[in-house]
Structure 1
Amino acid sequence: MTRQTATIRPAEERDVARLSELMYEYICDFYQRPRPPETRVVGLIRTLLDHQAGIQFVAEQNGDLLGFATLYFTYSTTVCDKSTVMNDLYLTESARGTSAAESLFRACQSYTREHGYAWMSWETAPDNHRAQRFYEKMGAQKGPWVTYSI
């Protein structure tokens, strides 16, 4: 049986409810973080719908969302230019290992290039070896920077 390819597109208002569910899976189930209030999750999605601070892409198949990727827009002082940060790339368990991850990644990469950003960067957890293998397959190399947070 041939698996249908997911359609990748920017998130729209009609996606807010399902995208919220996926974001809770990502935040709470995958990363084991506390559940943020719904108003904050929906507010973030709506902030990204206007494409000013960032953009979310969704992977859709047969009318259902399988996952999302989020790009935030920022600047780099060292090159005096704008750049993107792919903050999230998430797929439901059943969609992992399909072409949807590559398609979401490529959508972020294409958006970055087509809109004149200097580069796209991202992070993943040090123990997320599956994601690291995926990024290396996509041609990425581990960066030289050490990440801190407070």
Structure 2
Amino acid sequence: MLTISTVGEADLAELLPMLRSYCDFYRVDPSDEKLETLSRALIVNDDEGVQLIARDSNRTPVGFATIYWTWQTLHAARVGVLNDLYVTPEGRNSGTGRALIAHSLALCHDRGAEKLVWETAPDNEAAQRLYDGIGAEKSTWLTYELDA
């Protein structure tokens, strides 16, 4: 049985290795200190966002999601941005990703957000199969970024 809960202080030791694996997958290397600071900031202020942790029937962590709260002018509505979705290799193909998305969508509803939006890398075909399989619509937008 899978359980999903909001990350608290007691979850950080088990969350951080998954954050590191997620960053490794995308070939980025923020420090562990910065990752922990991010998680602690969301624990303290859930108006900015929230992290979820999924655990299997043995209470082993098998995935996480990070949702940030914002507005989108083009929808004139609040939205949840599913910034991160990660499932451990052991947890894949078990419904964990679907469950984390469903839980994230329920949080959006609870907070009055009208949409859950997210991005994935163009070459992350496994994630795209999941998203296509739940009926998510692909966006036509391209993502740009600048370092501040």
Fold similarity call, TM over 0.5: yes
- Percentage of identical aligned residues: 35
Number of positions where the alignment pairs a residue of Structure 1 with one of Structure 2: 144
**Contact 2:20–2:32, Cα closer than 8 Å, also in 1:** no
Alignment of 1:1-150 (within 5 A): 5-28=1-24, 30-34=25-29, 36-49=30-43, 50-61=45-56, 62-150=58-146
Deviations 1:5-52 (A, max 9, x none): 211111111001111111001102x11212x22221111011111312
Measured after TM superposition, the shift of residue 81 of structure 1 is: 2.4
Q: 1:79 to 1:101 in 2, by over 3 A?
A: closer
Q: Quote how far apart the aligned CAs of 1:79 are.
A: 3.2
Q: When the two structures are superposed, what TM-score results if normalisation uses the length of structure 1?
A: 0.90
* Distance in 1 separating the partners of 2:138 and 2:12: 33
Residues 115-149 of structure 1: per-residue CA shift (max 9 Å, x gap): 10121100000011111110011110101212212
2:110 is aligned with what amino acid? E
Which runs of 5 or more residues in structure 2 are unaligned?
none
Report the aligned-residue RMSD.
1.2
Give ranges in structure 1 of 5+ residues lacking alignment: none
| Structure 1 consecutive aligned stretches of length 4 or more whose deviation exceeds 6 Å | none
Q: TM-score, normalised by structure 2?
A: 0.92
- TM-superposed deviation, 1:80: 3.1
